[in-house]
């Protein structure tokens, strides 16, 4: 999830997807590869409502739609990347397309089983979202800037409103060839 400098995920009307700082941000291909499959038919969710927690919305979630609009990319060597919860109509690729690392492939949304704009990214050993196991990976480089206080996150409302940078470092720490832990605050290179 993307934040502003105060550690807020949402700025403005929390009931509108456009108020979430990550919503509409460009999604870039993680590596060179071939697009295996896409889904680009799901409408945006209402922020603050996790479909799996709502009896009526839960009925609409299937194995195929739980990750929302998504892209699966074949990276070669038996590894696939999945980018999920994308904006409807924003996908710039289709199955069979060759993409290069860093190429813009879609925009971030709030689809599938999601209550706020965020990117679900994973590497996996099969192109099937239900038949794959996760594959470990590291990021080439990023800056570690602190962590989100777990108590603050657990106490947050369903819209994830608030300021979450109480444990932000004064000076960021460069990191290479690591995978940030859940709840880490990180900055990516420009």
Q: 153: pLDDT confidence band, cut at 50, 70 and 90?
A: confident
Main-chain dihedrals φ then ψ at residue 80, nearest 5 degrees: -125, 145
Q: Span 39-47, mean pLDDT? A: 96
Tell me the CATH number for domain 17-124: 2.70.70.10
The pLDDT tens digits for 49-104 are 999 999 989 998 998 999 999 999 999 999 999 999 999 999 999 999 999 999 99
Percent of the chain with pLDDT over 70: 99
Q: 108: pLDDT confidence band, cut at 50, 70 and 90?
A: very high
* Delimiting residues of CATH 2.70.70.10 domain(s) in the chain: 17-124
Q: Are 158 and 50 in contact (CB under 8 A)?
A: yes
Q: What is the pTM of this model?
A: 0.93
Contacts by 14-17, CB closer than 8 A, 24 or more apart: 14/47, 14/48, 14/159, 14/161, 15/46, 15/47, 15/48, 15/159, 16/47, 17/44, 17/45, 17/47, 17/109, 17/110, 17/117
Write down the pLDDT at residue 165. 83
Q: Are 69 and 112 in contact (CB under 8 A)?
A: yes
How is residue 121 written in tokens?
């990214």
């Amino acid at each position: 999830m993307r934040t502003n400098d105060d550690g807020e995920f949402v700025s403005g009307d929390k009931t509108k997807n456009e108020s979430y700082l990550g919503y509409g941000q460009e999604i870039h291909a993680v590596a060179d590869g071939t697009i295996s499959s896409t889904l680009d038919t799901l409408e945006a969710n209402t922020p603050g409502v996790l479909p799996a927690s709502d009896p009526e919305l839960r009925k609409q979630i299937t194995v195929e739609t739980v990750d929302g609009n998504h892209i699966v990319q074949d990276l070669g060597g038996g590894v696939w990347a999945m980018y999920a919860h994308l904006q409807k109509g924003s996908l710039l690729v289709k199955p069979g397309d060759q993409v290069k690392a860093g190429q813009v492939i879609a925009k971030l949304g709030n689809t599938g089983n999601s209550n706020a704009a965020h990117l679900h990214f994973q590497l996996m050993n099969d192109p099937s979202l239900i038949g794959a196991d996760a594959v470990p990976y590291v990021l080439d480089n990023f800056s570690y800037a602190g962590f989100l206080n777990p108590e603050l996150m657990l106490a947050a409302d369903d819209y994830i409103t608030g300021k979450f940078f109480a444990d932000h470092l004064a000076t960021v720490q460069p990191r290479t060839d690591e995978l940030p832990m859940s709840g880490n605050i990180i900055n990516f290179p420009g």
